[in-house]
Amino acid sequence: TTADRFQVMVHVDEATLALRAGRGPWSAIVEADVEGSDTRAHLREAWLSYAFGPRLVLAAGQIRQAMNSELATPEIVRGTPGDGFASHLTGRVAPGVAATSEWNCGAVRYEASATFGHGFGVEGAPRDSRRLVGRAVFRPLQNVLPEGTARAVGNGLWTGFAVSRDDDFDDPVRLETPLEASVFRTDDLRGGGGRAWLWEVGWTNERLRVSLERTEGEAQDVPTARGPRDFDQLTAWSVHAAVSLTDTRLGYDGGRWTREPAARHGPGGDWELAARYSNADIDRGLLDAGLAPPGRGSQETRTFTVALGWRPAPEVRLSLAFVSTIADEPLAAFEGGRRDRSLLLRLEVAF
């Protein structure tokens, strides 16, 4: 239901063709956007990397610049559809270079990347500012506690921190619900710079995975009718949870969530229950300055998603999701209302 009116829509949400290759320390990927509406030049990712060993991997090309685990994880591995608000505020894909390094058997992971503009955000809108990102992920208790239950519990803990710096802010602020309804929308702010930080913590015991993330950002020297202004409240936080109802193991590795199917796929398939609560609190000044048109932005928006996923085969997922969104201001996406509740039936195939 949308704005108290029953509505049924069927459409292709995403279609990609990924070509992967590797030989020795070299690896490459080209992922084309076959559906063709969300990316520049119909290209999601395209990069070449060289591994000098686990302690240093260099990559160059069209790269995914993720500051959080959700965006670093392929969507078919996640339990809930779409992206949380933190991914919208911090994530992008753009031409650039990246370096990753792991130490102590993955207990410490560092990532550094630089993108050069002409990219796009998770919702497909252009991102033209040049950005530097540094990210560190830690498994602070990995193999530290005594063997047994204590070590298993400690090995499941991770935490991460990321910072970014833009040399300008020639980007919009865009937020969408998992059903792609716009809840905040500006044009390019054309600011003089920007910065953001993100912190996350999580834990998994193979059957259960939970995590919390929070980001705060700032757009600096944005032109307004009253002169340049800083908008320092680009804030979002999310809570994620997933439960494996069969023998699939939920884990964490390489700065992203992982999902390892059972050695033998049961006759009833694999089942998983996942949920996400995401909250965005955007600087009221963007609305007061007219940078977000009436009906196109809400200062605070909350969305809750719960999804039941079934995999009859490792490459196929059928999921039923319920998405509830509450906004502070009336929105055109909700036909002038502040609330939206929807059911999503989604089929994903990877082969």
Average pLDDT over residues 256-265: 78
**AA identity, residue 116:** F
Please give the residue that has the higher pLDDT: either 39 or 119.
Answer: 119
> 17-26, 147-156, 248-257, 328-337: which range is least confident on average?
147-156
Tokens 């944005």 map to which residue?
222
Tell me which residue of 209, 308, 215 sits closest to 256, measured CA to CA: 209
Rounded mean pLDDT of 14-25? Answer: 86
Q: How confident is the model at residue 204 (pLDDT cuts 50, 70, 90)?
A: very high
Among 271, 214, 213, 210, smallest CA distance to 241 is for: 210
Residues 6+ apart with CB under 8 A from 4: 337
Q: Is the pLDDT of residue 45 over 90?
A: no
In whole angstroms, how large is the CA radius of gyration of the chain?
20
**Which residues, 6+ apart, have CB-to-CB distance to 29 below 8 Å?**
18, 19, 20, 21, 45, 46, 47
Distance of alpha carbon 57 from alpha carbon 80, whole angstroms: 30
Query: DSSP string of 126-143?
Result: EE-SEEEEEEEEE-TTTT
Quote the CA–CA distance of 83 and 89 in Å, as a whole number: 10
Query: DSSP class of residue 83?
Result: -
Q: What is the dihedral of CA 263, 264, 268, 271, to 10 degrees?
A: 0
Q: Once rounded to an integer, what is the mean pLDDT over residues 100-117?
A: 92
Q: How far is CA 155 from the centre of its chain?
A: 24
Average pLDDT (291-300) is 87
- In this predicted structure, the answer to whether residue 239 has a pLDDT above a threshold of 60 is yes
Residue 227 has pLDDT above 70, yes or no: yes
Region label for 69, one of left (φ > 0), alpha (ψ between -120 and 50) or beta (otherwise)? alpha
Mean pLDDT, rounded, for 115-136: 92
Under 8 Å between Cβ of 61 and 46? yes
Check whether 66 has a pLDDT greater than 90.
Answer: yes
For 174-194, the pLDDT digits (tens) are 999 988 889 999 989 999 999
Long-range contacts (CB closer than 8 Å, 24 or more residues apart) made by 339-342: 340/1, 340/2, 340/3, 340/177, 340/179, 340/181, 341/1, 342/1, 342/2, 342/179
Per DSSP, which regions of 181-269 are E strands? Answer: 182-185, 193-204, 208-222, 229-244, 249-253, 256-260
CB 33 within 8 A of CB 44: yes
